[in-house]
Amino acid sequence: MIRKITAVIISTLFASFTVRAETLVTDLSQSEIQITSQFAGSQLLLFGALERHATESTQTDQLAVQGLDYDIIVVVQSEPTDLVIRKKEKIGGIWINNENETVRGVPGYYVIGSTRALDEFLSPQEQRSLGLGLKNIKVTNDNDMEVGEYKDALIRNMVSKRLYQEDYGNVTVKDEILFRATLDFPSNMPVGDYKADVYLVRDGEVVINHRTDLLVDKIGLERLIYNFAHEFPPLYGIMAILVAISAGLFSGFVARKVT
**pLDDT tens digits, residue range 212-222?**
999 998 775 55
State mean pLDDT over 233-241. 71
**pLDDT tens digits, residue range 92-129?**
677 776 777 888 889 999 999 999 999 999 999 999 99
What pLDDT is stored for residue 253 in this prediction? 61
Query: Residue 70: which of 110, 20, 18, 27 has the closest Cα?
Result: 20
80 - beta bridge partners? 107
Of the options 3.40.1360.10, 3.40.50.360, 1.10.357.10, 2.60.40.1930, the CATH number for the domain spanning 22-218 = 2.60.40.1930
3-state helix, strand, coil in the chain (%, to 5): 30, 45, 25
**pLDDT tens digits, residue range 54-85?**
444 334 344 333 445 789 999 999 999 988 88
**pLDDT tens digits, residue range 160-177?**
999 999 999 899 988 778
Torsion 101-106-112-117 (CA) sign: negative
- Cβ contacts of residue 81 below 8 Å, gap of 6+? 105, 106, 107, 108, 190, 192
**pLDDT tens digits, residue range 24-59?**
888 898 888 888 777 888 888 999 988 765 444 334
To the nearest whole percent, how much of the chain has pLDDT over 70?
72
State mean pLDDT over 187-206. 91
What pLDDT is stored for residue 105 in this prediction? 87
* Every domain of the chain and the residues it spans: 22-218, 220-259
Give pTM, 2 decimals: 0.71
State mean pLDDT over 198-210. 91
